[in-house]
Amino acid sequence: MHTLTRRGFMAAVGSSLMALHYPSAAGAATLLQRPIPRDGSLLPVIGLGTWQAFDFDANDNTANTDGLATLQRLLEQPRSVIDTSPMYGRAEAALGRLLEVADTKQQSFIATKVWTNGQRQGRAQIDASFRQLGRDVIDLLQVHNLLDYPTHLPTLQALKREGRIRYIGATHYLSSGYASLVRIIESGAIDAVQVNYSLLERDAASRVFPAAAANRVAVLVNRPFAEGAIFQKTKNKPLPAWATALGCTSWAQFALKFILAQPAVTCVIPGTRNPKYLVDNLGAAASAAPDAETAQRMAAHFDRL
């Protein structure tokens, strides 16, 4: 297979980008941020997921161009969270290539994962992530779906002591993982938990978020659109008039604001490499999050669609 050189890649992506214009997110205004409970450092509340969206070939110019434009819009907010995993095929590699152009000052907050069995295999996979992502330090290293968590935890603790990772995390995407996640949160071993929560999957609010809040653990929310199922339900349905007063101009913003109504949530990571969707998603952070009563009204309205 023909592989682009780094210089060739930059030239190809850079020149095709010049021909395109994507609007910025709310100008470059600062959007809502929330603190990582452990140390109070602030993160923008909307980040980016890379599952499927960034799993593409190095020679795919259209995907590279869209991916780069998406990252550039995202990184108008320094410290924006980008979530990836060795499980996501070519996503770590694609992300690493594009960040060389989009994030020369390394201002993004990179979250990746370890997803394998065994200590040696885990360490090798993490070393590959450092290389693919082009980072000496990774912000957040999570045990993906808790796979072989007891084996990987000492590796992550050692990497944190060495300053190679800043935070330790654990993820899941099904409610069957919640009881284990809560035990791990309560053990004090992790700084961040990543879990599914959306208008269609609401259990984490009662089953995971209280433990995270009580133990000062950051919460990243995955599958905020239930992998797009939210949009099947809202298709051809107008937003309620009262959503405008909440600052929503799209169903995506409605869905994200519903999630941000949870005070335990630190950051939501919708998946896309579509720069227009990214700008739309960031719009959910341009005004205050709804209160609990409003979130209930949002859920009730969504249920009746």
Q: Residue 129 and residue 152: Cα distance in Å, rounded?
A: 15
CB of 277 to ligand NAP, least distance (A): 4
Q: Which is nearer to ligand NAP, 10 or 175 (CB)?
A: 175
Which stretches of the chain bind ligand NAP, using CB under 6 A?
49-51, 53, 83, 144-145, 171-173, 194, 222-228, 231, 252, 269-272, 274, 277, 280-281
Give the residue with the Cβ less far from ligand NAP, 9 or 225. 225
Give the nearest distance from C-beta 115 to ligand NAP in angstroms: 8
> 125 or 281, CB closer to ligand NAP?
281
CA distance 54 to 192: 23
Radius of gyration for the chain, computed over Cα atoms and rounded to the nearest angstrom: 19
Nearest-approach distance from CB 84 to ligand NAP, in angstroms: 6
- Long-range contacts, stretch 20-27, CB < 8 angstroms, 24+ apart: 20/65, 20/69, 22/69, 22/73, 22/275, 22/276, 22/279, 23/279, 24/73, 24/76, 24/279, 25/73, 25/74, 25/76, 25/77, 25/278, 25/279, 25/282, 25/283, 25/286, 26/282, 26/283, 26/286
CB of 144 to ligand NAP, least distance (A): 5
Shortest distance in whole angstroms from residue 75 CB to ligand NAP: 16
User: Which amino acid type is present at position 258?
Assistant: F
Of 129 and 222, CB closest to ligand NAP? 222
Which C-beta is closer to ligand NAP: that of 11 or that of 179? 179
